[in-house]
Chain A
């Protein structure tokens, strides 16, 4: 299953509900394009809901890092929500878990941007 993203706004925060796989090729490109479009529209508070992401490879991890640094360079914030165990474990072993701001509950995550 390739990656799909749907977008919604909650209290000034853009939530990207992601599902499928973030891998080399289409999955990484879909994420990159969505984040770029949000930044172009000035939407710099971004919450990536990864609750339905069932697989991510090293390219996908790299894409998350790129999204994080790109948003930060433009004065915004990108946070992660609802990590599956697989994604959580990958971020742990790559030492990225402490780099990202990871949230477990949507309302608290939205509130944390303000």
Chain B
């Protein structure tokens, strides 16, 4: 298993969301996850990127999104950081509760938690950092060098 790390900063646009999803797909596949796991990881990253671009930075062209992908023999770790006002953890709804079931939004964090092994959210006044961890489970193969 080749350790590799990739870090880059992008604008607060939908293109960044697509980029994050595509990069996650490639790195997860390179790390040896099966197709279903790759899809789940990529969707978790997409949802986190949507939160950063839309809810964190509010599409503000002055604010950036930083993505970090790191893979070793144990874990795939993806960190996504925005420059918004900080996610209010008390306002994350439970989308499974009856009063929220028919709401049109509020499922992103739930899906992220459903698809990843560990999720760490660190809000601050200068932005929110979300760290997503997927354990490799020993089925990884040598990865290719990652690029944005």
B126 interface residue per 8 A CB criterion: no
Most buried by A among B102, B103, B114: B102
Residues of A within 8 A of B102 (CB): 65, 68-69, 99
B40-65 contact mask (Cβ, 8 Å, vs A): 1 or 0: 00010011001000100000000000
- Residues of A48-69 at the interface with B, using a CB-CB cut-off of 8 Å, are 57-59, 61-63, 65-66, 68-69
B32 interface residue per 8 A CB criterion: no
How many chain A residues touch B (CB < 8 A): the figure is 20
Contact B107 A58 (CB under 8 A): yes
User: Size band of the B side of the interface?
Assistant: 20 to 34
Contact B110 A94 (CB under 8 A): yes
- Residues of A88-111 at the interface with B, using a CB-CB cut-off of 8 Å, are 90, 93-96, 99
In the assembled complex, the Cα of A99 lies from the Cα of B50 at a distance in Å of 26
Q: A58-B107, A63-B104 are in contact. List 9 more A-B contacts (CB 8 A).
A: A24-B14, A24-B17, A62-B105, A62-B107, A65-B102, A69-B102, A86-B39, A94-B96, A99-B102
Contact A24 B96 (CB under 8 A): no
Residues of B within 8 A of A62 (CB): 103-105, 107
A33 to chain B, nearest CB (A): 15
B residues engaging A (CB < 8 A)? 14, 17, 39, 43, 46-47, 50, 54, 95-96, 101-105, 107-108, 110-111, 114
A residues engaging B (CB < 8 A)? 23-25, 57-59, 61-63, 65-66, 68-69, 86, 90, 93-96, 99
Residues of B within 8 A of A68 (CB): 102
Contact A59 B39 (CB under 8 A): no
In the assembled complex, the Cα of A66 lies from the Cα of B104 at a distance in Å of 6
In the assembled complex, the Cα of A57 lies from the Cα of B47 at a distance in Å of 8
Residues of A within 8 A of B105 (CB): 58-59, 62
B13 to chain A, nearest CB (A): 10
